[in-house]
């Protein structure tokens, strides 16, 4: 009985979405994959997957067990990466994706250093504000900003960011400075369409949770557009600290009601786990982890 192989097989099936695809990725027969799954379920005494002729889906028990499997398997991968021979140099094309504003503001300035460190690596960087399936679309890795990383992908935390409520001093001089979130209903607001709560902005403050329905003058799917509007004294924005941190530090924008905190997110490097992580992806992931551990005044 190989518990590690059973867990690895189970995780591969969940990520691939079928026994056949998992078998191909693991270089084993479909019958072997099915056998490992059956042995795992028999040993645990629960059903982990609902199986039909068209699709697979996790049971409630399967979801819990899959989360734990991913944590354990990721730990093994990281341990192996730490002791693997450094003689295998990184080379080849890395296809990666990242959110647009983060890719421009935070990643683009890093590429020169990375390319100097790894001259045999080439990059294809797609900036997309959508959670694409990196396996289906053929990406080697991605940077994602989320409350939790994907349970079907390996990940390493790079940093954190928080949503900051801010505006320019000129706007505040003209329109007044809000002291409580409820006052935002009377202010000009520039809103990002990607906010999961829509025009309802939520905060955690001294008096508990507060939610206010804003009336945006502008809706946009671009964080840079929100930032530019705020810098042009048009209104109040709720944007991530990685985007407006330098503006706050310089005084171009002013944080409002810091005692009322908006959402906070993790920033993760994620990559598929069906196969062993390649030296090139490991090199880029290690580089990003190291970069974002450096002191960052604007965050």
Tokens of 134: 């990196």
Tokens of 217: 């003058």
Please report the pLDDT score of residue 277 as a whole number: 79
The residue ranges of every structural domain in the chain are 3-83, 162-264
| Whether the domain at 3-83 and the domain at 162-264 fall into the same CATH topology | no
Tokens of 66: 């899959």
Q: How much is the pTM?
A: 0.70
Distance (Å, rounded) from C-alpha 142 to C-alpha 125? 9
On the 0-12 / 13-18 / 19+ scale of CB atoms within 10 A, 126 is: middle
Report whether pLDDT(239) > 80: yes
Please report the pLDDT score of residue 27 as a whole number: 83
Please report the pLDDT score of residue 148 as a whole number: 84
Tokens of 55: 């699709």
**Topology of 3-83 in CATH?**
Arc Repressor Mutant, subunit A (1.10.10)
CATH architecture for residues 162-264: 3-Layer(aba) Sandwich (3.40)
How large a percentage of the chain has pLDDT more than 90? 58
Give the residue, 291 or 78, on which the prediction is more confident.
291
């Amino acid at each position: 009985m190989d518990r590690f192989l059973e867990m690895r097989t189970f995780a591969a099936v969940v990520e691939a979405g079928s026994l056949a695809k998992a078998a191909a990725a693991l270089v084993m027969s479909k019958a072997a994959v099915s056998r490992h799954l059956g042995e795992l379920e028999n040993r645990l005494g629960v059903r982990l997957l609902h199986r039909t002729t068209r699709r697979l889906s996790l049971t409630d028990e399967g979801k819990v067990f899959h989360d734990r499997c991913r944590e354990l398997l990721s730990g093994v991968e990281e341990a192996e990466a730490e002791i693997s021979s450094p003689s295998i140099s990184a080379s080849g094309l890395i296809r990666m994706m990242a959110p647009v504003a983060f890719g421009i503001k935070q990643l683009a300035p890093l590429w020169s250093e990375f390319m100097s460190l790894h001259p045999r690596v080439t990059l294809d960087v797609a900036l997309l504000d959508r959670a694409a399936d990196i396996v289906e679309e053929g990406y080697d890795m991605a940077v994602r900003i989320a409350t939790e990383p994907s349970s079907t992908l390996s990940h390493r935390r790079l940093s954190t960011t928080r949503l900051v409520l801010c505006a320019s001093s000129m706007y505040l001089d003209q329109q007044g400075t809000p002291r409580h979130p409820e006052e935002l209903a009377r202010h000009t607001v520039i809103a990002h369409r990607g906010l999961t709560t829509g025009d309802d902005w939520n905060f955690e403050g001294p008096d508990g949770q507060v939610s206010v329905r804003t009336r945006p003058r502008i809706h946009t799917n671009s964080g840079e557009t929100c930032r530019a509007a705020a810098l042009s004294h048009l209104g109040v924005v709720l944007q991530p600290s990685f985007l407006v941190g330098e503006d706050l530090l310089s005084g171009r924008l002013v944080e409002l009601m810091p005692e009322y905190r908006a959402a906070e997110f993790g920033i993760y490097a994620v990559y598929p786990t069906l196969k062993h992580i390649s030296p090139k992806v490991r090199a880029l992931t290690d580089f990003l982890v190291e970069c974002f551990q450096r002191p960052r005044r604007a965050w």
